[in-house]
Structure 1
Amino acid sequence: MFRSLFHRPPSRARLRRLRWLRLLLLGFITFFVIDLWRISQSGSPSVIKPAPPLDIRHQERVFIASIHWNNESILRSHWNDALLDLVQKLGPEHVYVSVLESGSWDGSKDALRALDTELEKLGVERKIVLEDITHIDEIQRMPSSDEPGWIWTVRGKKELRRIPYLSRLRNRVMDELTALASRTEAKRTFDKVLWLNDVVFTAHDALNILGTREGDYAAACSLDFSKPPAYYDTFALRDSSGAKAITHTWPYFLSSMSRHAMMAGFPVPVQSCWNGIVAFDATPFYERPPLVFRGISDGLAKYHLEGSECCLIHADNPLTPVKGVWLNPDVRVGYNEKAYANVHPRHSAIWPSAGEKLLGIWQNRVARLINFPRRTIEDMVVSWRVRSWKANGLEREEHGVHCLINEMQVLVGNGWAHL
């Protein structure tokens, strides 16, 4: 009697609700298990693939380019040795090394002199320029009224923009490419241009970049890391739709085309990348006029916008729509030894792990939803400022709008600053 008073049997409605809850829970668990299996079976960018056969790579002539500033530590610990190894694998007769160091206050100059000595022993043709002009020298000089690359800032003075400055340095390095093709004796031309940042890399990494899609690309890039698992160069990387990466961790991208290629471990179609190492088809750099590095116009920069020269170069490259820009997920480089080791774990050939992949995919899914308002507002701000700039002048055009961000960057004595 008392049991019947205090323990009534569940109603049909309650039983129906419980049944639906069980079905929903079972469905979620089933989806989760299938998702985990699918992710674990997906191609992994971590499974190290062999570099392209050296006899194939030997057929190509490679112009190796780099700029340095206060990089003594990584030059001595990794960079010099990796470059020398790469040169020997490519064949000293098939490469040219063009390096510009600008105003370092550490021992970068001595480290590059040591590199120069070793390249001489290998018989490598090269040009390594060491300059004493510092950032302070650059920003303290008085520019002419019409000199490009300078801008009035909120600090009430005319300041040197970072991107035009870096573009000028990169173009000076690339001047050697055209000079070698135009000299009267022993002319040299190259099939690929290989830019190397101040990163920990191996010859294997560089060869894999050069061999991306069997060499069929406008440009091919690595992934770079400073504090893994987050990638580093957010300023230059844009997915196949032109959007910034939606997350800093794998699989990174908003565009389904880029994201699915990354998840499958295939070369990833993107509109722009740089990310430590980048190889270009050299053809556009020989055209008249040649492909060059640049910043956006000073007039557009006044609207508090900036774009990386490492992104704009792809927007200007006539081969980009023909051959494409590709990020090679098999090549991961680091800005320090710890970062490189973390993305090349010795205990496992797999990076990221299945658990990291699962977490990354769910973070990506959530970010696509909750960041939609922020992305929309950011895009609207950039678009409105570009339209305002166009409306205030005749025949104004910027082909690299997808490269633009809501920032102003200027050179300072110890680096650069956001304003």
Structure 2
Amino acid sequence: MPSSSVSDEYELDAEPLIGWSKSDRPTDELHDRFSPLQGVKRPLAKLLSGAVYLTLVVLTFPFRWRLRPRSRIFCLLHILLGALLALICLTGLFWPSYTRLPPHYETLRTQVQSSSAHGRGNVHNQKVYIAAVLYDPQGQLASGRWGDALLQLIEMLGEQNVYLSIYENNSGETGENALRHLADNVTCNNTIISEPGLSLRDIPHVTIPTGEKRVRRIDYLAEVRNRALQPLDTAQVTYDKLLYLNDVIFDPVEVLQLLFCTNADSNGVAQYRAVCAVDFSNPFKFYDSYATRDYEGYGVGMPFFPWFTSAGAGESRRDVLAEKDAVRVRSCWGGMVAFDAAYFQGPAAIRFRADSEMFWDASECCIVHADVQSAKPVTDQLQRSGSYMNPFVRVAYSARSHSWLWTTRRFEKLYPLAHDLLNRLAGFPHFNPRRTEVFGEKITDSMWIAGDMGDAVPGRVQTVERMAGNDGFCGRRGLEVLVENRRPDQDGFDSIPIPDGLD
């Protein structure tokens, strides 16, 4: 059997999860909006107090002694340093980013914390289908903080309202045992499967320029994600929400806020086709840039706040700077995403897929947004994509990074100017010739056309007329294929060189 191929984009460094127990759960991070220091961790309060004192020392130092004219530069540097420290302190204290929760978010958190009743976080008893794909060879996800948070989430949603589907692949005996133990503690209806390896027989193969037949990475990942959705094919229940979870550290209450609070209407009902959390690989670095596109289909910029560039109208960036809970995007993933489940049920049910064109790679997690947005055509799809990113809800790929997210966000309003400058210097966003394509239009383009069985060459670049798909904004030139039977020190996929003649 082939080894499981999981790219960095989907893989979790689970080392920080070791040793986490129920007694180690994070305490409530809510703050009193009327007190700037309320809710700030004690180390942060000490740090800010020390910084204020240091600022005063630096600012007053030049005036303690009479300085010679040649020391004016020295004096100016001290003043600038003091002003910078003052700005950092004041921003963290009085103008933090994404820390003042909307009232209905606070109401939901209080409701959950003030009761022990099952289903207390799901007052309308909405039916939620939770899907997850695991690669857990050490068993640290299922038996650690991820598994414990999942059980808490099910309890808060109400066991009678939840269906859990977990698909695990090639995790070995330790991973299988950990998942089996988790399954024994799951109290809702579920399908939990661990397979020693995924057969590639039914996954499409392509012929690359060397003549080899290989499995494209995105085809493989789409198949794995769809395995967790298979119970929907025969479900007798109509679900309201589909929640797809990566192997991330998350707060169960924030999941409820993502599901039921995002973009709420006047009646307090969440309105979205899809909404994502924001995921971090460290306390500052945004992770899932591969699947994220702004409201006009541009890729993201430098991977720190406010994440999006000012290209085009810059609407996603403006939404972030305005601290909206529903930042308009064309696609996202963010380690955790909630969908309107109606798109994934019935005769026209959407599933994850790859783009059909060779040497045009696009994340299956971006394409699924394109398919959801195309399922109900609107007059101006760009203005009403229905996909959002919620920066109030943040997850991380290590416990250490997650523990810092409430602190680091307090200083984010210092970053936009530097972020914009660095984007321009680095050339972000990268140009995508298909970003503005309209679904169904005919376009003359260069494409790799596979040869027939009897041809002397496996294929060639030809100029052809193609029909534009709905997912042009997701992709880029490239082709990555699965490495079958890989060695432990080997990457899970190979990048195939782009043939001459393809732009």
Q: Same fold by TM (over 0.5)?
A: yes
Distance 2:212 2:239 in 1: 43
1:292 lines up with 2:368 in the alignment: no
Q: TM-score, normalised by structure 1?
A: 0.76
Distance 1:148 1:117 in 2: 32
Distance 1:76 1:56, change over 3 A: closer
Query: Following superposition of structure 1 onto structure 2, how do residues 108-257 of structure 1 map, counting pairs within 5 Å?
Result: 108-119=175-186, 122=187, 124-133=188-197, 138=200, 149-153=204-208, 157-180=212-235, 187-211=236-260, 212-214=262-264, 215-255=270-310, 256-257=314-315
1:153-202 residue CA offsets vs partner (Å, 9 max, x unmatched): 4665222111111111222221211311xxxxxx3111000000011112
1:50 lines up with 2:116 in the alignment: no
Distance 1:60 1:104 in 2: 33
80-89 vs 316-325, greater mean Cα deviation: 316-325
The structure with the greater share of residues assigned to helix is: 1
Match of 1:61 in 2: 127
Q: State the shift of 1:418 in Å.
A: 3.2
Distance 1:106 1:60 in 2: 36
Which of 273, 291, 294 is residue 332 of structure 2 equivalent to?
273
74-83 vs 189-198, greater mean Cα deviation: 74-83
Distance 2:413 2:208 in 1: 43
Match of 1:387 in 2: 445
CA contact (8 A) 1:74 1:336 kept: no
Which of 166, 188, 195 is residue 99 of structure 1 equivalent to?
166
Q: State the shift of 1:262 in Å.
A: 1.0
Unaligned runs of 5+ in 1: 1-29, 181-186, 346-350
Letter in 2 for 1:344: W
Match of 1:341 in 2: 403
Distance 1:409 1:382, change over 3 A: farther
Higher RCO, 1 vs 2 (CA within 8 Å, ≥6 residues apart): 1
Distance 1:210 1:381 in 2: 32
Unaligned runs of 5+ in 2: 1-82, 112-119, 265-269, 438-442, 449-461, 497-503
Letter in 1 for 2:432: D
CA contact (8 A) 1:58 1:94 kept: no
162-171 vs 275-284, greater mean Cα deviation: 162-171
Corresponding residue SS for 2:288: coil
Match of 1:26 in 2: none
User: How many residues are treated as equivalent by the alignment?
Assistant: 361
1:352 lines up with 2:409 in the alignment: yes
Distance 1:191 1:227, change over 3 A: same
The alignment's C-alpha RMSD in Å is: 3.4
1:185-231 residue CA offsets vs partner (Å, 9 max, x unmatched): xx311100000001111211211210212321000100111123111
Q: TM-score, normalised by structure 2?
A: 0.64
CA contact (8 A) 1:66 1:100 kept: yes
Letter in 1 for 2:132: S
Q: State the shift of 1:288 in Å.
A: 2.5
Match of 1:7 in 2: none
Corresponding residue SS for 1:109: helix
Q: State the shift of 1:55 in Å.
A: 5.8
CA contact (8 A) 2:129 2:239 kept: yes
264-273 vs 69-78, greater mean Cα deviation: 69-78
